[in-house]
Structure 1
Amino acid sequence: MNEHTLSMRLERVATHVPQGARLADIGSDHGYLPVALMLRERIEYAVAGEVASPPHAAAQRNVRKQGLESRIAVRLADGLAAIVPEDRITAVSLCGMGGETLCEILEAGRARLAGVERLVLQPNGAEPQVRQWLMSNGYRIVAEEVLREHRFDYEIIVAEPGHAAYSPQQLYFGPLLMRDHGQAFHVKWQRMLGQKKQTLANFAQARVAVPPAKVADFEQQVDWITRLLAERPHLED
């Protein structure tokens, strides 16, 4: 992966960044996403924010290499603190971090999201918590997808300001994914079903009793997954 050729995951993220956006890519690592989008003339301006010095320096090098210093600001900052009002940011991307961390960044920087028209999120796990944060903070989910790359399943969640009310199952699977789920979604949840059943079997054999509430939670998840997969019985693994 480089500033010209993105990973499959980041290519899919890129498709959800609106044409002409002013993008803040938080946790930008090497700055590959904003640099690629700028080279493709997809965005007007970008901030590449990074909290750690080595990836911040790498992003600076990549931006400088492409002669984009006037169009991409690379900043060493914690989360959304990388954004200043003068940036007039319209889209924010947060990718490749744990879902809990992603929610913490959004919560800590809520005031800096004023004027932002789209959030493009790719959490590594804890997707239900991310959807819960969005619903609780005045965002509706407008696009979702699942993809598998290098033996990992990734979900992309795209949200815009607006009212939404999601059920517990919709928060768990994704409101759009559970309605239109396809091959990648089906394969992911077949795999997850096996893992959840194995966990329940391990609970039953544990030397120390597992709290009943935890057992009930896993049983609920197994039931939800089984029912949802039964709606598309003819999809092949």
Structure 2
Amino acid sequence: MLTVSKRLHTIASYVQPNSKVADIGSDHAILPVYLVQTGKAQSAIAGEVNKGPWESAKRQVEAAGLADRIAVRLGDGLSVLKDGEVNTVCIAGMGGTLIRHILEEGIKNLSSVQHLVLQPNVAEYQVREWLYRNGWQLTGESILEEDGVIYEIISAIKGDPDAPYQSNRWLREEWFELGPILWEERSPILLDKWEAEKKKSERVLQGLDKARSEEAESKRIEIEKRLTWIEEVLECLRTDKP
């Protein structure tokens, strides 16, 4: 059986037993192989847009002796799927903007899909916003650190998109950034993430110190406003204030 990273193990933990899974952007098909080997998936599709990773995925599946249960397909995003083939889609290890694009472009291919497990490397808010606008309900969120990198994993089903956003503590757009379930769980890693976000914004602000253009001034005001908000977020996380 394959040994997987903490990130992939957490993604796999959200997949329901005996699911039919598509892993989009599968790279070496490690996740589909692991899901089938552990009984989480009865069958899987590994989708890749580039020929090199597609060939690597085929070799991985063949080496595991699972070519009869895992189809490796070359194609763009969700276009590799046929209606009714899968009930769960995983998209992991890419930016939130790209994940959102894949979901939007392939929305017709999601008609039979009941469960999404998504792991954006950045711009998580874009993923949560897309899910909300398109009728998907957040059912789980995880945040973890591995090899010095912080990852967020988002699980959603077709349902009531408003369900996890009942609190008025933050604006809806702010919840898209924070993650309502992550906020409830208050992992120490969430604090680490927002401390890092503060430092990132401070570096951007320092870089604008000598700029004198109107555009730079507008950007400076925007970053200062964001820093004020991040400080409020950090204060809440540090004091566990609801």
**TM-score (normalised: structure 2):** 0.90
The question of 1:171 aligning with 2:168 is answered: no
Q: What pairs with 1:50-61 in structure 2 (closer than 5 Å)?
A: 50-61=48-59
The 2-side partners of 1:40 and 1:21 are apart by: 12
2:96–2:120 CA contact under 8 A, matched in 1: yes
Query: Where does residue 26 of structure 1 map in the other structure?
Result: 24
Q: Where does residue 7 of structure 2 map in the other structure? A: 9
The amino acid across from 1:40 in the alignment is T
What corresponds to 1:154 in structure 2?
A: 151
Q: What is residue 237 of structure 2 aligned with on the other side?
A: 232
Q: C-alpha distance in 2, partners of 1:63/1:211? A: 51
Of the candidates 82, 85, 93, which is equivalent to residue 84 of structure 1?
82
**Do the aligned residues in 2 keep the contact of 1:178 with 1:228 (CA within 8 Å)?**
no
Please state whether the residue corresponding to 2:127 is helix, strand or coil.
helix
Separation in 1 of the partners of 2:177 and 2:118?
16
The answer to whether residue 195 in structure 2 is matched with residue 190 in structure 1 is yes
1:159-218 deviation per Cα after TM superposition (whole angstroms, max 9, x unaligned): 111232451110111111123221111111111112212322322332544444433332
- Which amino acid is 1:84 matched to? K
The CA distance in 1 between the partners of 2:112 and 2:224, in whole Å, is 42
CA contact (8 A) 2:208 2:216 kept: no
SS in 2 for 1:5: coil
Amino acid across the alignment from 1:107: E
Equivalent residue for 2:116?
Answer: 119
2:206 to 201, 204, 216: 201
Is the 1:169–1:224 Cα contact (8 Å) retained in structure 2? no
Could you say what the CA RMSD is over the residues aligned between the two structures, in angstroms?
1.7
Kept after mapping to 1: 8 A contact 2:118/2:155: yes
Query: Paired residue for 1:215, among 211, 216, 220?
Result: 220
Which residue number corresponds to residue 169 of structure 2? Answer: none
In 2, Cα distance between equivalents of 1:216 and 1:119? 37
Q: Output the CA distance in 1 between the equivalents of 2:115 and 2:218.
A: 37
Deviation at 1:111, TM superposition (A): 0.6
Whichever residue aligns with residue 134 of structure 1, its letter is L
Report if the CA contact (8 A) 2:83-2:112 is conserved. no
Contact 1:203/1:210 (<8 A) preserved: no
Between 44-53 and 206-215, report the one with greater CA deviation: 206-215
> Whole-Å Cα distance in 1 between the matches of residues 119 and 234 of structure 2?
23
Counterpart in the other structure of 2:186: 181
Distance in 2, Cα, partners of 1:214 & 1:82: 41
> Comparing 180-189 with 212-221, which one deviates more in the overlay?
212-221
CA shift in 2, pair 1:86/1:198, >3 Å: closer
Q: Which runs of 4+ in 1 moved over 4 A?
A: none
Q: Residue 106 of structure 1: which of 79, 99, 103 is its match?
A: 103
Whole-angstrom CA distance in 1 between matches of 2:8 and 2:187: 20
AA at the equivalent of 1:192: E
Q: Structure 1 residue 134 and structure 2 residue 131: aligned?
A: yes
So what's the TM-score if we normalise by structure 1? 0.91
Taking only the aligned residue pairs, the percentage that are identical comes to 37
State the shift of 1:72 in Å: 0.6
Q: Kindly provide the amino acid, as one letter, of the partner of residue 127 in structure 2.
A: V
Structure 2 counterparts to residues 42-81 of structure 1, below 5 A: 42-81=40-79
